[in-house]
Amino acid sequence: MAECHPVGFQWVMEAKARGAKLVHVDPRFTRTSALADLHVPLRAGSDIAFLGGIVNHVLREEKYFRDYVVAYTNAPMILREDFRDTEDLDGVFSGLDREGRAYDPTSWQYEGVEVQAASGERDQQYERRIAESGRGEAHGSGGAAIGEGEPERDETLTHPRCVFQVLKRHYARYTPQMVERTCGVPQDVFQQVCQLVTENSGRDRTTAFAYAVGWTQHTIGVQYIRTAAVLQLLLGNIGRPGGGILALRGHASIQGSTDIPTLFNLLPGYIPMPHAHQHESLDKFVEAEAAHKGYWGGMRSYLVSLLKAYWGEAATAENDYCFDYLPRLTGSHSTYETVLAQQNGVCRGYFLYGENPAVGSANTKMQRLGMANLDWLVVRDFSLIESATWWKDGPEIETGELRTEDIATEVFFLPAAAHTEKDGSFTNTQRLLQWHHQAVEPAGDARSDLWFTFHLGRIIREKLAASTDEMDRPVLDLAWDYPTKGALAEPDAEAVLAEVSGRDADGRPLSAYTQLKDDGSTSCGCWIYCGVYADGVNQAARRKPGEQQNWVAGEWGWAWPANRRILYNRASADPEGRPWSERKALVWWDADQSRWTGHDIPDFPATTPPDYRPPAEAKAAEALSGTDPFVMQADGKGWLFAPAGLTDGPLPTHYEPQDSPFDNPLYRQQRNPVRQVLPALPDNRYQPSGSAPGSEVFPYVATTYRLTEHHTAGGMTRWQPYLAELQPAMFCEVSPLLAAERSLEHLGWATVVTARNVIEARVLVTDRMVPLIVQGRTLHQVGLPYHWGPNGYTTGDAANELVHLSLDPNTHIQETKALACDIRPGRRPRGPAAVELVREYRRRAGITDQTGTEI
């Protein structure tokens, strides 16, 4: 966190100054470890085993917060009789379709809940494509829908099929000995962590977990975070001050770009993108996707208001508010599938807004080969990044695999304005929107993304104005009427914010999403952002200093939803509505006023008393009982066990990374059985793992990361002399023992090889890289910053050349944080010899297009 989020880390330092203990779990000793009370090096790719070990400790030693667990989690829910755990099936759950590489989650449901019948006549292949497109992100603002009916509960938590007992059995094998074998963490260090976490959790104390892409970028990444969720729910650390699981986002507004998404399968506010055939009308879509209980019960209002924001006057009740104008999914269209579609000639044009896939995306060679097959490519960035020049000076030009004269892609480079040159908002990990004002006009031809998008749309609409083609109606009917200002005709960013925030039928600003209507009388560009422009005031621009308000600081910026600073904060009070402790009081039920009150804005229906029990026919927010704090969940409870919504299992389970030097010590099932394995094309070969022959060719584990001095793929930093001089060369970090084993010299060169590609890097030999004892043998890990590429003021090879395209099935994210590799002294070969070296490695490891693709 100190490395990649130094500004946010100031609050960790402040907590530390007040007595907080800081534990850092990371394969490397980083600038965060330097300030931590305890650094725990572990094997990259083994976090579920580590966290699962803590879950087991909490259950075995009875350290869980029982009152919280019984009242607020799904621990008492009883599962169906046909559910089978990984304990029963040696590492897989019931419902696995081995042919289709997908789970049917029906058996994961609660007893007594009727699973929704699959509507219509959908063929098997279509079902599979839907499953592939994944729905993990669609629950970014809460859980998945579950079926109708009241689940059976056992509040004694003793029923053999209740979630609590299933959980206990599932994690029983995650013992300290197993943690040591799997993660390389000595048992007493592990016990120390268990003690710190459990002693600091309960009525009076809370523990927070912060993570970043070290958890997400795995073939089982979503389940890493789920393990933390299970642990935090057991300890009662969710919805309470000082608790939670904090996603440290990789860019200034990455949270904002999932809220109002750049993701293919989402609409703003985490409303799923409709699928072709499956979602043919607005009502059918809402019926299929919306939960019947909780705030997702209002999905029709959110969606209709969104459609009104998109198409304004053209959206009417008669035409289903232009629901048909929305594009439809026909499967997964994630970044990496788009690359394959480019290579297959299906995807012909590509916009890159401040993105440098030729350096920053996994398997950069595949990225460049995809772009080489486009008709056109638009790159908007500050500098001539690698993604704009690969056609003349990329690595494949050097190796002879591509020739400039053969590439037909027309590449447009358009200079972009920086955040200091435009108005706009950042949404941070706390869901906090903070407005930034333009300081200077952009220089030269540089323009903001807002300017580019607005004027591109305006010109396209002008060109299509005379069209009578039905296909052009969605573009022509758009409400595309933003005011512009200044000599550059810059669209007014506050006008966009006002549209996102929402208006009533008379154009007055809305103040909360509870005001949204499903009859077309309100418009709102993103329901969770409703109210950010309440009273016609840019609430995100508020900067009242902390010392002038209470510790929640609700008047600094604006947080979604409804300016609530801590989600699910009903859980900070006990079932009767009293704070669990005075020390950790946040919101509580005020019986005199008959409403919820407190330091934060209650994330709960304000006047629903703790003893409220909904009538059977109640829907949406009215269906939440007074003790259902998890207002976005279909059952109002925190999910220890996920009965729906995940493609790869209801309980987190340790699987080895796609390419691993080790066998899975916990189960016979080696890898996540439903990971998304993209085709093993010649440049995307997978490696043998564990005891499979050829695995010894790649005996080390590489993990990629960022340095404080550079940002992601380097487009913002490698061209800056003041930053380039601080970290002037691509390097790899190795331990003195590995250096001795492979004859690597400090400051010399090393060559790193996988089945995909080969790179070179300068060598930093450091004690900060710690060899670990895993499964009885020494494991060396290789640290690879991924900022460099061949262009810019400081240059070097891109670590992402080495990465394969086996993905997390929920989020389609790549596995850059744990991959087996080899390292050898000296510079890499040049030209065609580089390709030949990789081929030789593949031959030695016996790699074919089948290797590593087994389920």
Partner 1 sequence: MQERPVDAPTPTAGRAPLDVAAAAGHRAHPPRVGFFTDTSICIGCKACEVACKEWNAVPEDGLELTGMSYDNTQGLGADSWRHVAFVEQKKSSGGAWATVDHRGVDVFAEAARLGTGAATEGGGIAPVAPDGRTELRWLMSSDVCKHCTRAGCLDVCPTGALFRTEFGTVVVQQDVCNGCGYCVPACPYGVIDQRKSDGRVWKCTLCYDRLGAGLEPACAKACPTDSIQFGPLDELRERAAERVRRLQDAGVPGARLYGHDPADGVGGDGAFFLLLDEPEVYGLPPDPVVTTRDLPAMWRHAAVAAVTLAAGMAACCVRRKR
Binding window for partner 1 (CB under 8 A); candidates: 46-54, 230-238, 526-534, 731-739 = 731-739
Regarding 724 and contact with partner 1 (CB under 8 A), the answer is: yes
Nearer to partner 1, 46 or 523 (CB): 46
φ, ψ of residue 583 to 5 degrees: the values are -60, -35
Regarding 199 and contact with partner 1 (CB under 8 A), the answer is: no
Regarding 246 and contact with partner 1 (CB under 8 A), the answer is: no
Contact pick of 514, 766, 775, 853 for partner 1 (by CB under 8 A): 766
Place of tokens 């903070």: 434
d(CA 149, CA 296): 17
Regarding 836 and contact with partner 1 (CB under 8 A), the answer is: no
- Which residues lie closer than 8 Å to 291 by C-beta, 6 or more apart? 142, 143, 144, 145, 146, 297, 299, 633, 634
Nearer to partner 1, 41 or 636 (CB): 41
Binding window for partner 1 (CB under 8 A); candidates: 5-13, 397-405, 529-537, 610-618 = 5-13
Q: Minimal distance in Å, beta carbon 322 to partner 1?
A: 46
Contact pick of 727, 757, 811, 816 for partner 1 (by CB under 8 A): 727
Regarding 489 and contact with partner 1 (CB under 8 A), the answer is: no
Regarding 575 and contact with partner 1 (CB under 8 A), the answer is: no
Rg over alpha carbons for the chain, rounded to the nearest Å, is 27
Q: Minimal distance in Å, beta carbon 647 to partner 1?
A: 36
Binding window for partner 1 (CB under 8 A); candidates: 24-32, 560-568, 625-633, 847-855 = 24-32
Regarding 35 and contact with partner 1 (CB under 8 A), the answer is: yes
807's enclosing H/E stretch is strand 806-807
Regarding 765 and contact with partner 1 (CB under 8 A), the answer is: yes
Q: Minimal distance in Å, beta carbon 536 to partner 1?
A: 34
Nearer to partner 1, 86 or 200 (CB): 200
Three-class SS of 197-226: HHHCCCCCCCCCEEECHHHHCCCCHHHHHH
Q: Which of 169, 70, 71, 161 is nearest to 107 (CA)?
A: 161
d(CA 614, CA 616): 6
SS3 content of the chain, % helix, strand, coil (to 5): 30, 15, 55
d(CA 48, CA 220): 9
Give the number of C-alpha atoms closer than 13 A to the C-alpha of residue 245, restricted to the C-beta side: 18
Dihedral sign computed on CA atoms, order 268, 272, 278, 284: negative
Contact pick of 729, 760, 790, 825 for partner 1 (by CB under 8 A): 729
- Segment 785 to 804, residues that bind partner 1, using CB under 8 A: 793-794
Nearer to partner 1, 40 or 640 (CB): 40
Binding window for partner 1 (CB under 8 A); candidates: 73-81, 412-420, 526-534, 734-742 = 734-742
Regarding 178 and contact with partner 1 (CB under 8 A), the answer is: no
Count of residues that interact with partner 1, criterion CB under 8 A = 57
Place of tokens 């043919």: 280
Q: Which residues pair with 73 in a beta bridge?
A: 638
Place of tokens 């304000």: 606
Nearer to partner 1, 464 or 770 (CB): 770
Contact pick of 708, 741, 749, 855 for partner 1 (by CB under 8 A): 708
- Segment 735 to 764, residues that bind partner 1, using CB under 8 A: 735-737, 739-740, 745-747, 762, 764
C-alpha distances (whole Å) from 312 to each of 307, 496, 758 are 7, 14, 53
Nearer to partner 1, 15 or 495 (CB): 15
Q: Which of 595, 600, 528, 578 is nearest to 243 (CA)?
A: 600
φ, ψ of residue 402 to 5 degrees: the values are -125, 145
Q: Minimal distance in Å, beta carbon 539 to partner 1?
A: 26
User: Vertex 757, ends 755 and 760: CA angle to 5°?
Assistant: 125
Binding window for partner 1 (CB under 8 A); candidates: 234-242, 258-266, 603-611, 704-712 = 704-712
Using CB under 8 A, list all residues that contact partner 1: 2, 6-7, 9-10, 13, 17, 21, 29, 31-39, 41, 184-186, 188-189, 707-709, 721-729, 731, 735-737, 739-740, 745-747, 762, 764-768, 770-773, 793-794
